[in-house]
Chain A
Amino acid sequence: GESVGLHLPTLSVQEGDNSIINCAYSNSASDYFIWYKQESGKGPQFIIDIRSNMDKRQGQRVTVLLNKTVKHLSLQIAATQPGDSAVYFCAGRNYGQNFVFGPGTRLSVLP
Chain B
Amino acid sequence: DGGITQSPKYLFRKEGQNVTLSCEQNLNHDAMYWYRQDPGQGLRLIYYSQIVNDFQKGDIAEGYSVSREKKESFPLTVTSAQKNPTAFYLCASRGQYPLYEQYFGPGTRLTVT
Residues in A lying within 8 Å of B, measured CB to CB: 4-5, 9, 32, 34, 36, 41-46, 49, 89, 91, 93, 98-104
Number of A-B contacts (CB under 8 A): 47
Q: Is the CB of B101 within 8 A of A34?
A: yes
Can you list the 3 inter-chain pairs with the closest CB atoms, starting with the nearest? A101-B42, A43-B104, A101-B43
| Among listed B62-70, B74-82, B105-113, interface-contacting one | B105-113
**Which of these, A41, A44, A49, A104, contacts B104 with CB under 8 Å?**
A44
Q: Please, what's the 1-or-0 string for B77-101, where 1 marks a CB less than 8 Å from any CB in chain A?
A: 0000000000000100000000111
Which B residues between 9 and 24 are near A, CB-CB below 8 angstroms? none
Report B-chain residues with C-beta under 8 Å of the C-beta of A93.
100
Q: Is the CB of B90 within 8 A of A103?
A: no
